Structure 1
């Protein structure tokens, strides 16, 4: 118990040390935290087993803990398919980091989750689960779900070669990048600074668009924006490469996604 309290307070302190906000993209409303989970699945009947688990057991139980809305997205093209990403937002970081312990005490969940949780080794429900914890950017402190309708989502992760470079890239977003995305027509869902997970230091953010053609046209508008050209040439950010690797995924919301 003491270890969990220490971890929660340490994470909160670390995220509170972020840069002062320079953007008016979103008013401060209590910073959220995000658990981004990647479920690498087995092809075949296990994919339905996983979908039933997410829809009928896990997501309703997470909602009961105050974790909502939960996003669920599939990777349909790429080397790691089938894969499902879950995005868990919550303002209480301790709720996120102790969610699995709480789920094990939820009798309704345990009953609904049994086929997935107790899948035999000969037919496992999944291959692996990876989890990363993020603190929302100070200038974009809460997740913004898009309007209902047909959508695709773009999940982008920027790794930096040093902590200083990472801080500079976060500051770059707060120095006008949010507004440039908005002018270009990009739907902004969340921005997160990685606290725990692989390939740190990094940041991850999610955009959304009605379709792939709109995604491409919005990025063209972003690249052509005079303020972006000015910002990207600013010596605070252009003195060296402050991003060493970019991971870019196109995701489709599942039928049970709440985002």
Structure 2
């Protein structure tokens, strides 16, 4: 198992728009493309409270590349994302990392 950690940094005041987009649109595309989420979090206290952090679960990097690339190429996703950012950009920066569990991790 591989866990992908993704952190989206939003433009000021745009976090609610990102949350709406995930809730109303993105998760449907995730389901379509077999992208399995572990969870989503916003930052209550920390360096930046305009962030959305989430974890995705993958069986392999090959599975990730296949599913993620298909999702990113979907014309309906591209149109939906474009529409939500028609007036103002939502995300200013994305960071991601791929994590592998240790032999003593509760989640493996």
Note whether the superposition's TM-score is higher than 0.5.
yes
Spell out structure 1 runs of 4+ moving beyond 6 A: none
Asked if residue 154 in structure 1 is aligned to residue 7 in structure 2, the reply is no
Displacement of 1:185 after TM fit?
Answer: 1.5
Deviations 1:157-182 (A, max 9, x none): 0111202x111111110111111112
Query: Contact 2:10–2:91 (CA<8 Å) still a contact in 1?
Result: yes
Asked which structure has the greater CA Rg, the reply is: 1
What pairs up with 1:232-247 in 2 under 5 angstroms? 232-234=81-83, 236-247=84-95
What residue is the counterpart of 2:58 in the other structure?
209
Q: How many residue pairs were aligned?
A: 107
Distance 2:99 2:19 in 1: 24
Asked if residue 186 in structure 1 is aligned to residue 35 in structure 2, the reply is yes
Q: CA RMSD in A?
A: 1.4
What pairs up with 1:215-226 in 2 under 5 angstroms? 215-226=64-75
Asked if residue 251 in structure 1 is aligned to residue 108 in structure 2, the reply is no
Q: Identify which range, 241-250 or 223-232, moves more after superposition.
A: 223-232
Q: Comparing both chains, which one has the higher relative contact order based on Cα–Cα distances under 8 Å and sequence gaps of 6 or more?
A: 2
Three-state SS of the structure 1 residue aligned to 2:94 is strand
Ranges in structure 2 where 5+ consecutive residues have no aligned partner: none
The TM-score with structure 1 as length reference comes to 0.39
Query: Contact 1:169–1:237 (CA<8 Å) still a contact in 2?
Result: no
What pairs up with 1:1-259 in 2 under 5 angstroms? 151-163=1-13, 165-234=14-83, 236-259=84-107
